[in-house]
Amino acid sequence: MFNLLAGIRIIDLTTIVLGPYATQLLADFGAEVIKIEAQQGDVFRAVRPGRLADIGTGFMNFNRNKRSVVLDLKSEAGQASLGQWVAGADVFVHNMRSSSAERLGASYETLVQSNPSLVYCYSPGFGNRGADKDLPAYDDIIQARSGLAALNADASGAPQFVKTIACDKVVGLHLALAIQAGLIQKGKTGKGVCIEVPMLETMTSFILSEHLSGHTLIPEEGGLGYDRLMSENRKPYQTLDGYLAILPYSTKHWIRFFELCGEPDWATSERVVDPVLRSQNIDVLYKKLAALAMLRTTDEWQRLLVAADIPHSTVSSLTDLLTDPHLSAASMFNTYEDARLGKIREVRSPFEVDGKLDFEVQPNRPAPNLGEHDIGP
């Protein structure tokens, strides 16, 4: 754990992945995160495998460096206690619908009475300006609604969910950024702020940044979708004995690639050397790349591509990540003993601060048991 946010207290009423991911990032930087849970606990505690009933591995990997306090926010006493916690905090964060937060005494209008300089950030499924503001949403729902599942369609055109909790984590990053922005404003002006980070709107912005494409212009010049990403020939390429991601990107990359392949006509072609024409012909170039990739082994390609300084990579499985030489050298995975959980493998924070990794500054704390820190604010 780093100490950049030491002294910042965050009252965290988030659940599942989106909010917990955001607040874990801030906890990794040293913020004190008080996780408020109902008596049954965050439902993600039940995700298996796990050695304790209230701490599964899914929960562990999104809730380190936090403290857990149980409050019954359906009761007046619980809501009063929440107000006391918020009174001494810098930030309050949740990922509920506004109507749900209001019923639990956790609306901005209620909590700002306890703390006028409160930084209040929340991430509902749909923003309050839209007709769907009161609809429930989880990652799969937003993958479907935002266009992500359609972009990830299989060969038959059937939409597919991305095999990671993509929307929760992308929106979680935006939520963490919003909290930081609120803290900066508070530090400069002394004033609090209420920031909404809705899932659908955030993912729409995230996806259409490149895919708005020709519809950026009015009248439209071309369709939706960034051509390079939509190419059916953009994929890891089959070699003589495996697969390899090969990405000539700049003009120099493409010229070098065709030169090392013994294709002088392609190396000097206008559709290679002219960036505009190359963009317009990217699927043709990728199709040619796919055909050439099959002429050599993966090792042969790697030697050539390293020498030519052309971006490339083998295709890693999840298992491969655990033994990846670069990640191992970077101490990406740590193991330690915990009195409750036994031996644990941890994926460290990806950041480095002043030449140090998080565990070199202060050891990370494993995810807390439900209500482990049930003390007064």
Ranges 5-14, 102-111, 214-223, 368-377: which has the least confidence: 368-377
Judged against a pLDDT cut of 80, whether residue 376 lies above it is answered with no
CB 101 within 8 A of CB 129: no
Judged against a pLDDT cut of 90, whether residue 86 lies above it is answered with yes
| Whole-number Cα distances in Å, 341 to 33, 69, 188 | 21, 20, 42
At residue 375, the pLDDT reads 72
Give the residue ranges of DSSP H helices in 74-222: 76-87, 98-103, 108-111, 139-145, 148-151, 166-189, 199-211
Q: What CA–CA distance (Å, rounded) separates 265 from 262?
A: 9
Q: What CA–CA distance (Å, rounded) separates 131 from 200?
A: 12
Instruction: Give 150's pLDDT tier (boundaries 50, 70, 90).
Output: very high
Q: What CA–CA distance (Å, rounded) separates 111 from 105?
A: 8
Largest CA distance in the chain: 78
> Using the 8-state DSSP alphabet, how is residue 107 labeled?
S
CB 34 within 8 A of CB 12: yes
The tens digit of pLDDT for each residue in 290-309 reads 999 999 999 999 999 999 99
Q: If you search the block for the tokens 């639990």, which residue do you land on?
A: 104
Domain ranges within the chain, ordered by starting residue: 9-206+337-361, 237-314
The tens digit of pLDDT for each residue in 240-253 reads 999 999 999 999 99
Return the CATH number of the domain spanning residue range 237-314: 3.30.1540.10
The tens digit of pLDDT for each residue in 98-122 reads 999 999 999 999 999 999 999 999 9
* Domain spanning 9-206+337-361, CATH class: alpha beta
- Mutual angle of helices 166-189 and 199-211, in 10-degree steps: 100
At residue 39, the pLDDT reads 96
At residue 377, the pLDDT reads 74
Judged against a pLDDT cut of 90, whether residue 84 lies above it is answered with yes
At residue 44, the pLDDT reads 98
Q: What CA–CA distance (Å, rounded) separates 372 from 377?
A: 14
Judged against a pLDDT cut of 80, whether residue 203 lies above it is answered with yes
Q: Helix, strand, or coil here: 94?
A: strand
CB 187 within 8 A of CB 177: no
At residue 158, the pLDDT reads 98
